Amino acid sequence: MYESIENLDNTRGMEVKDWVTTPSTRQEIMNRFKNFLKSFTDAKGQKIYLERIKHMGEDNHTSIELDYNHLAEMSQELALFLPQAPEQMLPIMNEALKVKKKILSAL
């Protein structure tokens, strides 16, 4: 069980690339990214990333297009960490996307 991290941008003096790989931070990043994927809505009120994930599974694709501005709008911390530690962040985000894809496939 990991502790919840409310203030994700408080790296406690660690470099971002090290901070995002700690177990609690990694889990919090996954939780926030999954929340982004399931709840972000466009101007028309459509949950565009859930739709993209659904089509990803239907079309047998392995990725979706993500608008960085959408991520920044909903989660400034994730948007801040991504360019600072892409090698560490992208695998975490990919894992969260796979989890979402499996959940949608089961429905």
Tell me the CATH number at 51: 3.30.1640.10
Q: Is the pLDDT of residue 100 over 50?
A: yes
Give a yes or no: residue 11 inside a domain.
no
Give a yes or no: residue 7 inside a domain.
no
Mean of pLDDT values over 8-29: 89
Give a yes or no: residue 4 inside a domain.
no
Q: Is 13 left (phi over 0), alpha (psi -120 to 50) or beta?
A: left
Number of compact structural domains in the chain: 1
Q: What is the 3-state secondary structure (H, E, C) of 6-62?
A: CCCCCCCCCCHHHHCCCHHHHHHHHHHHHHHHHHCCCCCCCCHHHHHHHHHHHCCCC
Q: 2 vs 94, which has greater pLDDT? A: 94
Give a yes or no: residue 5 inside a domain.
no
Q: In terms of residue numbers, what domain contains 40?
A: 16-106
* pLDDT grade for 1, boundaries at 50, 70 and 90: very low
Give a yes or no: residue 44 inside a domain.
yes
Give a yes or no: residue 3 inside a domain.
no
Model pTM? 0.84
